[in-house]
């Protein structure tokens, strides 16, 4: 029997009451461990401080194909292929068989070998509710969550329930279960469903002390460019009130922005919240950042103390919901031990991504996302071509295949003495500017804080132009940064030396940008440096489109960069001192060929702070295809403006 909820025609209170009227299968499993609460910055179990170390049970209750070594983009795609080939009933049978076998009691026993006492359980909302109207609850909506809690508790492991995929989806990324959608933020119907489901979950688990708490919304990043703080500040208090009304005992974890920041929340007390913690995900050296110990040192020794200081100031516990060094050049297992120990010293809970990953090749190797993997080679399965019997056999085998433990990681995490790390000398942590001068430093130029970035500015001192900028990112579909720009002629170019960039994030940027307009989703082409000794060509070819990037390493700053529009294309270059120019990227995109602005872009990638980039040797070329340039004089002019004077440069640079 289904409990059917007509979300759009009944008052929300009626929806919630209807939602909890489920079958006897919803009776919670019996708890076996002391209740966990938040006190100050610590987690307490049975009134005593507890250090939580654990992992994520990824690819189980929300299927992520890459963790099976498959190229399908998301769970929705996998389901649609199976439904088209075999029908809905067989698709349900296949996925049930997979879930019944991918995580079993033997997996929790292995997790205990790593001395872990916590698992974060990512789940798709569809495990409780059907996706399509009238959004009926499943016959036994808590079957899988109850099973997760029961198996964990059997092995003395606490559980955090993590809604990884929400109704309508909370970001365009694949881990929501369906990429390309973030309708939760614009659909009142999906928001009502989301809140009602959390109230239903809280009512079910309210007396179960084996559950540490509720991770309310995984990675709520929207389109990966928009500042999500206003939307979270509007939605999450409604979720808190709904959950707290039926379960004031379990901790609620409030999520982070894409930058990792949780500062926008302020203190839980300022919202009237109790038993609340904050959570964020840390992946320095991955996803576009330059890997290496320098990046890890910047993050661990510079940025994390700021996190700790903020959390102390608001008296709030913290969960590092996901992290992984992955690469040996990021420190590998030794770095993982250092991270766990650092988090424990701060009294933070930590769950690495992920417990298990299976792949076509056999064994647990270097550069891994996992604690365990398949010991032997797996059969090659094609969801589009393999038989139903072969696919079912594959899913069934997940419960019995021999597993290979990541032994270096196991040794690093369980040894009495942590392995040593040869840390680079990075000096003292940077001091970020509190504000920026707003006077334009270059006559005939303008400035804009695009995408709601904190106000930036410029300062001219002798031969160096300091540009201050904030913002969340210059990537994906929308941007947020500081832009100092002038009119871009049909044939134009800009050459600068980037002397330094204050480390506010591994993804902070400073460079030259040719941009169609000042809208956040404008087409652009850019050459930029990162503070981690790397440089990139980044391009968005159409309004609101995605971005492409070409990233290369450089020895260190300073470095010269150049952007030229001429002959039907835009080309980016860079060169280290005493080296020839190297092309890093180009585009023929019509929208960029028609771009109206060219200038300097600076991004902190941490909306709470301003970074500072130092530029010199700024030369603006504007000669209608000729080599005439406007050289920006390095001397200070009246009123602290830089005067543009005509010059002809015959040198080959």
Condensed to tens digits (0 to 9), the pLDDT of residues 279-301 reads 999 999 998 788 999 999 999 99
Question: Which residue in this structure is represented by tokens 């209807």?
Answer: 18
* Residues 487 and 628 reside in one and the same domain: yes
Q: Which residue has the higher pLDDT, 245 or 18?
A: 245
Q: Where does residue 544 fall: left (phi above 0), alpha (psi -120 to 50 degrees), or beta otherwise?
A: left
30 pLDDT tier (thresholds 50, 70, 90): low
* Residues 479 and 337 reside in one and the same domain: no
Mean pLDDT within 14-43: 63
Condensed to tens digits (0 to 9), the pLDDT of residues 422-454 reads 999 999 999 999 999 998 888 889 999 999 899
pLDDT in the model for residue 607: 86
Query: Which secondary structure element, helix H or strand E, spans residue 464, and what is its range?
Result: strand 464-469
* Residues 407 and 461 reside in one and the same domain: no
Condensed to tens digits (0 to 9), the pLDDT of residues 537-574 reads 999 999 999 899 999 988 889 999 999 999 899 999 99
pLDDT in the model for residue 608: 85
Give the CATH number, domain containing residue 125: 3.20.20.80
With respect to residue 551, please indicate whether it lies within any of the assigned structural domains.
yes
With respect to residue 409, please indicate whether it lies within any of the assigned structural domains.
yes
With respect to residue 27, please indicate whether it lies within any of the assigned structural domains.
yes
Q: Which residue has the higher pLDDT, 522 or 1?
A: 522
* Residues 545 and 483 reside in one and the same domain: yes
Strand segments (E) across 227-275: 251-254
Gyration radius from the chain CA atoms: 27
50 pLDDT tier (thresholds 50, 70, 90): very high
* Residues 503 and 406 reside in one and the same domain: no
Condensed to tens digits (0 to 9), the pLDDT of residues 4-28 reads 333 333 333 333 333 333 333 444 5
Condensed to tens digits (0 to 9), the pLDDT of residues 343-364 reads 999 999 999 999 999 998 898 8
Q: Quote the CA–CA distance of 279 and 343 in Å, as a whole number.
A: 12
- For residue 445, count CB atoms less than 10 angstroms from its CB and return exposed for 0-12, middle for 13-18, buried for 19 or more: buried
With respect to residue 517, please indicate whether it lies within any of the assigned structural domains.
yes
* Residues 501 and 604 reside in one and the same domain: yes
Bridge partners of residue 446, in order along the sequence:
485
* Domain boundaries, position 458: 446-648
With respect to residue 435, please indicate whether it lies within any of the assigned structural domains.
no
As a whole-number percent, the residues of the chain with pLDDT over 90 amount to 80
Residue 637 has pLDDT above 50, yes or no: no
* Residues 205 and 246 reside in one and the same domain: yes
* Residues 599 and 452 reside in one and the same domain: yes
For the chain, how many structural domains are there in total?
2
pLDDT in the model for residue 31: 67
* Residues 321 and 464 reside in one and the same domain: no
* Residues 466 and 535 reside in one and the same domain: yes
Question: Which residue in this structure is represented by tokens 């130092």?
Answer: 614
pTM for this model (two decimals): 0.84
pLDDT in the model for residue 29: 55
* Residues 394 and 463 reside in one and the same domain: no
Q: What is the DSSP string of 75-121?
A: HHHHHHHHHHHH-HHHHHHHHHHHHHHHS-HHHHHHHHHTT--EEEE
pLDDT in the model for residue 178: 97
With respect to residue 550, please indicate whether it lies within any of the assigned structural domains.
yes
With respect to residue 419, please indicate whether it lies within any of the assigned structural domains.
no
pLDDT in the model for residue 628: 31
Report how far apart, in Å, the C-alpha atoms of 118 and of each of 111, 142, 213, 262 are. 9, 20, 11, 22
Name the 3-class secondary structure at 310. Answer: helix
pLDDT, averaged across the chain: 90
Give the CATH number, domain containing residue 629: 2.60.120.200
Strands 118-124 and 158-165: parallel
Residue 649 has pLDDT above 80, yes or no: no
With respect to residue 425, please indicate whether it lies within any of the assigned structural domains.
no
Residue 484 has pLDDT above 50, yes or no: yes
* Residues 464 and 403 reside in one and the same domain: no
């Amino acid at each position: 029997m289904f409990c059917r909820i007509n979300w759009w025609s009944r008052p929300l209170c009626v929806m919630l009451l209807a939602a909890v009227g489920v079958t006897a299968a919803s009776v919670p499993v019996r708890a076996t461990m002391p209740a966990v609460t938040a006190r100050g910055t610590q987690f307490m179990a049975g009134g005593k401080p507890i250090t939580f170390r654990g992992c994520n049970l990824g690819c189980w209750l929300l299927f992520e194909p890459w963790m099976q070594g498959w190229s399908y983009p998301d769970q929705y795609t996998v389901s649609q292929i199976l439904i088209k080939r075999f029908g809905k009933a067989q698709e349900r049978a296949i996925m049930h068989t997979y879930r019944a076998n991918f995580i079993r009691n033997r997996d929790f026993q292995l997790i205990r070998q790593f001395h872990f006492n916590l698992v974060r359980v990512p789940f798709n909302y569809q495990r409780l509710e059907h996706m399509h109207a009238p959004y009926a609850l499943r016959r036994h909506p808590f079957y899988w969550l109850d099973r997760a809690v029961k198996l964990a508790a059997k092995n003395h492991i606490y559980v955090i329930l993590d809604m990884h995929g929400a109704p309508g989806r909370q970001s365009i990324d694949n881990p929501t279960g369906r990429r390309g959608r973030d309708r939760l933020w614009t659909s009142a119907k999906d928001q009502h469903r989301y809140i009602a489901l959390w109230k239903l979950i809280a009512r079910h688990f309210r007396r179960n002390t084996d559950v540490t708490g509720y991770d309310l919304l995984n990675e709520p990043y929207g389109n990966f460019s928009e500042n999500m703080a206003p939307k979270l500040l509007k939605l999450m208090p409604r979720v808190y009130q709904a959950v707290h009304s039926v379960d004031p005992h379990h901790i609620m974890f409030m999520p982070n922005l894409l930058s990792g920041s949780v500062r926008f929340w302020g203190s839980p007390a300022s919202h009237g919240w109790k038993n609340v913690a904050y959570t964020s995900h840390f992946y320095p050296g991955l996803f576009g950042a330059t890997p290496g110990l320098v990046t890890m040192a910047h993050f661990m020794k510079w940025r994390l103390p700021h996190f700790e200081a903020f959390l102390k100031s608001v008296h709030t516990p913290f969960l590092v919901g996901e992290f992984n060094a992955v690469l040996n050049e990021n420190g590998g297992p030794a770095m993982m031990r250092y991270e766990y120990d650092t988090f424990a010293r701060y009294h933070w809970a930590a769950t690495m991504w992920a417990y298990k990953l299976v792949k076509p090749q056999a064994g647990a190797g270097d550069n891994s996302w996992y604690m365990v993997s398949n010991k032997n080679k797996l059969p090659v399965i094609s969801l589009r071509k393999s038989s139903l019997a072969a696919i079912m056999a594959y899913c069934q085998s997940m419960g019995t295949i021999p597993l290979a433990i990541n032994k270096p990681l196991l040794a690093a995490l369980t040894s009495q003495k942590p392995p040593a790390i040869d840390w680079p000398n990075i000096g003292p942590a940077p001091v970020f500017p509190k504000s920026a001068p707003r006077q334009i430093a270059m006559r005939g130029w303008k400035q804009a804080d695009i995408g709601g970035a904190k106000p930036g500015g410029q300062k001219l001192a002798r031969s160096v132009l300091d540009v201050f900028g904030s913002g969340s990112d210059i990537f994906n579909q929308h941007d947020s940064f500081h832009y100092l720009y002038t009119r871009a002629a049909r044939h134009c170019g800009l050459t600068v030396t980037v002397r330094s960039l204050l480390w506010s994030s591994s993804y902070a940027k400073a460079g030259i940008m040719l941009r169609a307009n000042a809208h956040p989703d404008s087409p652009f082409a850019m050459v930029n440096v990162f503070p981690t000794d790397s440089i990139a060509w980044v391009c968005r070819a159409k309004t609101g489109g995605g971005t492409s990037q070409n990233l290369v390493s450089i020895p260190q700053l300073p470095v010269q960069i150049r952007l030229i529009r001429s002959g039907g294309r835009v080309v980016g270059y860079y060169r280290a001192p005493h080296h020839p120019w190297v092309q890093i990227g180009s585009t023929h995109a019509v929208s960029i060929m028609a771009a109206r602005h060219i200038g300097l872009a600076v991004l902190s990638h941490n909306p709470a702070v301003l970074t500072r980039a130092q530029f010199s040797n700024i030369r603006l070329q504007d000669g209608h295809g000729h080599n005439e340039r406007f050289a920006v004089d390095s001397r200070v002019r009246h009123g602290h403006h830089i005067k543009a004077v005509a010059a002809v440069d015959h040198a080959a640079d």
